[in-house]
């Protein structure tokens, strides 16, 4: 039940798919990609070291919307089979008990989307008649009338938006297509796209949406940044609607992402697999005047499963749920630097890996051979090598053993606490190919995994019944 004298705030939770924090100007990116969110952040609190520890979308949102880690949810893979554990409450279910109405836009059918009163969808993914993708505008066309409806109700509301920009295909409408690129994207002397289009698992997908004849990787990267700017402009329409209704300051607004994006990084071209920091590092910006400090940057470490307990404390809502995460309010008040600075990380999308991240080190352990032919163990010094380019696993076996030991002890503790196994070891056909089992070689993984076109990618993301077809 609510505590204190303030009325319950509305909550608008904006999940921006595939948004790497480092590509936002408020996080230091050299390009002015997020001017509207930058302004929003100045009146709220920005978390500098906020991470999505469990890649990809399905597990990321499960953490974000429950306050629980992968051991509690048992959701770790993109192609999760069945619903999420019924013992785990979702944010809309918790808020319903406090009198909230709730609407989910663009996320129906995912295991973590359980419990909303209303579900709305919008078209996106592929290009329109102009050859560009109007995902953010399509979301607004559905969201703004729904926001008008929710405001008219007596109950406080939760509005969850799953933005599909800047998720690929990166096809922002004009003028965003070229605001960060001036050159010849088809220069025959530029060979930087050759390895991208030679990567068989993804090349058909890239050829489907990338303009024909592209040779310059910087053009594609600029398209991603343009998609971020396009999304930012569209989100301002949401902010404007809240201001017009006169409820902006009585609404707890959250901007975050399910995971980051690999652009030309680590050979994981224009996707979001791998557990490098370009995939793990996501934004978190909160605004709620009077309860959330304005213009504050928090430097401590936090993860997705900290979000739900944070929102409940800010809203003044009590619950007897024992969350795996912890409220970030003490960090905003400078009462604690971090609840935890090292944590377990997983990836179960196109590769199946897990690892351990500390402020200084990153350990990545492959659970089977991957389709990038990467080594089974990777170790990076994040202080000296923040780009994670120099694998020190062979040079520093003692550090590998130390971190592996920490990881394994933590896994054993969480298995004992929950009475449940580490789900990454129990996903069966995690890659979508029944009967194949774990890959025995990288070549087998390379020859098996495949995305054909944006329509198939959309089915896979949505958890469509035909998802196995999408991966063939």
Residues 305 and 358 reside in one and the same domain: no
Q: Which residues contact 444 (CB under 8 A, 6 or more apart)?
A: 369
The confidence score (pLDDT) of residue 127 equals 81
Listed residue (85, 113, 68) closest to 414, CA to CA: 68
Residue 466 in this model has a pLDDT that exceeds 60: no
The CATH code of the domain that includes 362 is 3.30.1120.10
Strands 10-16 and 251-256: parallel
Confidence category of residue 454, pLDDT binned at 50, 70, 90 = low
Structure tokens of 448? Answer: 């098996």
Any domain includes 186 = no
Determine the Cα–Cα distance for residues 344 and 354; give it in Å rounded to an integer: 7
Domain boundary among 310, 340, 370: 340
Examine residue 198 and state whether it is found in any structural domain, yes or no: no
What pLDDT shows up at residue 352? 96
Structure tokens at 469: 């077809």
- Considering only 12-16, 44-48, 132-136, 394-398, which range has the smallest mean pLDDT? 132-136
324, 340, 356 — which closes off a domain? 340
Mean pLDDT, rounded, for 10-29: 98
Give residue 125's pLDDT band: very low, low, confident or very high (50, 70, 90). Answer: confident
What pLDDT is attached to residue 463?
Answer: 58
**Residue 443 and residue 201 in contact, taking contact as beta carbons nearer than 8 Å:** no
Q: Is the domain of 364 the same as that of 433?
A: yes
| 251 strand-pairing partners | 10
Lowest pLDDT segment from 3-17, 179-193, 382-396, 438-452: 3-17
Is 456 within the bounds of a domain? no
Which among 323, 340, 357 is the end of a domain?
340
Name the β-bridge partners of 97: none
Q: Is 284 helix (H, G, I), strand (E, B) or coil?
A: strand
Domain of 388 in residue numbering reads as 344-449
State whether 96 and 71 are in the same domain: yes
416 in any annotated domain: yes
pLDDT tens digits, 347-362 = 999 999 999 999 999 9
Side-chain half-sphere of 40: how many Cα atoms within 13 Å? Answer: 32
Q: In this structure, are 368 and 397 located in the same domain?
A: yes
Residue 467: pLDDT band with limits 50, 70, 90: very low
Q: Do 248 and 378 belong to one domain? A: no
Tokens at 356, concatenated? 């351990």
| Residues paired with 254 in a beta bridge | 13, 286
Report which of 78, 154, 146 is spatially closest to residue 106, judged by C-alpha positions. 146
Tell me if 256 is assigned to some domain.
yes
pLDDT tens string 35-86? 999 999 999 999 999 999 999 999 999 999 999 999 999 999 999 988 999 9
* CATH, residue 322: 3.40.720.10
- Domain shared by 258 and 393, yes or no: no
Say yes or no to pLDDT of 1 above 50: no
- Considering the chain, what percentage of its residues have pLDDT values greater than 70? 94
Q: Are residues 282 and 351 in the same domain?
A: no
pLDDT above 90 for 451: no
- Residue 123 pLDDT > 90: no
Q: Does 464 map to a domain?
A: no
Assess if residue 1 is contained within a domain. Answer: no
Please give the mean pLDDT across all residues of the chain: 93
Same domain for 379 and 318: no
Closest CA to 115 of 83, 140, 143, 137: 83
Quick check: is 457 in a domain? no
**Angle subtended at Cα 133 by Cα 129 and Cα 138, rounded to the nearest 5 degrees:** 100
Does pLDDT of 3 surpass 50? no
Residue 459 has pLDDT above 90, yes or no: no
Whether 352 and 331 share a structural domain? no
The stretch 212-227 carries a mean pLDDT of 96
Percent of the chain with pLDDT over 90: 89
Give me the pLDDT at residue 33, please. 98
Number of domains in the chain: 2
User: What's the start-to-end Cα distance of the chain, in Å?
Assistant: 49
Q: Both 326 and 357 in a single domain?
A: no
- Residues 6 or more apart whose CB falls under 8 angstroms from that of 374 comprise 366, 442
457 pLDDT higher than 90: no
CA-based nearest residue to 334, from 284, 288, 296 = 296
The verdict on 323 and 361 lying in the same domain is no
């Amino acid at each position: 039940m609510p505590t204190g004298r303030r009325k319950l705030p509305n909550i608008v939770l904006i999940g921006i798919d595939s948004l790497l924090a480092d590509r936002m100007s408020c996080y230091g990116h050299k390009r002015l990609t997020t001017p509207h969110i930058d302004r929003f952040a100045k009146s709220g609190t920005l978390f500098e070291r906020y991470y999505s520890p469990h890649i990809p979308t399905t597990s990321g949102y499960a953490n974000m919307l429950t306050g629980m880690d992968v051991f509690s949810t048992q959701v770790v893979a993109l192609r999760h089979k069945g619903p999420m554990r019924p013992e785990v409450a979702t944010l809309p279910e918790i808020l319903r008990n406090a009198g909230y109405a709730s609407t989910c836009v663009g996320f129906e059918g995912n295991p973590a989307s359980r419990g909303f009163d209303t579900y709305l969808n919008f078209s996106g993914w592929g290009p329109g008649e102009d050859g560009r993708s109007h995902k953010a505008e399509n979301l607004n066309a559905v969201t703004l009338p729904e926001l008008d409806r929710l405001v008219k109700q007596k109950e406080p509301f939760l509005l969850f938006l799953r933005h599909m920009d800047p998720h690929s295909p990166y096809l922002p409408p004009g003028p965003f297509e070229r605001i960060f690129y001036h050159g010849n994207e088809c220069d025959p002397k530029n060979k930087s796209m050759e390895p991208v289009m030679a990567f068989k698992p993804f090349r058909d997908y890239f050829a489907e949406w990338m303009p024909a004849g592209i040779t310059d990787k910087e053009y594609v990267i600029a398209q991603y940044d343009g998609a971020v700017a396009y999304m930012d402009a569209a989100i301002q329409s949401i902010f404007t609607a809240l201001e017009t209704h006169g409820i902006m300051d009585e609404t707890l607004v959250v901007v975050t992402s399910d995971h980051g994006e690999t652009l030309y990084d680590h050979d994981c071209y224009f996707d979001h697999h791998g557990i490098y920091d370009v995939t793990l590092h996501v934004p978190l910006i909160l605004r709620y005047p009077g309860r959330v400090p304005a213009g504050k940057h928090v430097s401590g470490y936090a993860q997705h499963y900290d979000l739900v307990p944070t929102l409940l404390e800010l809203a003044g809502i009590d619950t007897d749920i024992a969350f795996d995460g912890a409220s970030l309010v003490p960090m905003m008040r400078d009462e604690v630097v971090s609840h935890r600075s090292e944590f377990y990380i997983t990836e179960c999308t196109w590769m199946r890996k897990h690892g351990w991240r500390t402020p200084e080190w990153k350990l990545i352990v492959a659970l089977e051979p991957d389709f990038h032919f990467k080594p089974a163990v990777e170790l990076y010094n994040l202080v000296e090598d923040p780009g994670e380019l120099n694998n020190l696993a062979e040079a520093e076996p003692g550090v590998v053993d130390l971190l592996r030991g920490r990881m394994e002890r933590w896994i054993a503790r969480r298995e004992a606490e929950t009475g449940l196994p580490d789900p990454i070891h129990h996903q069966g056909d995690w890659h979508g190919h029944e009967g194949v089992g774990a890959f025995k070689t990288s070549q087998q993984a390379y020859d098996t995994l495949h995305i054909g076109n944006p329509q198939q990618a959309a089915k896979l993301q949505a958890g469509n019944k035909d998802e196995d077809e999408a991966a063939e």
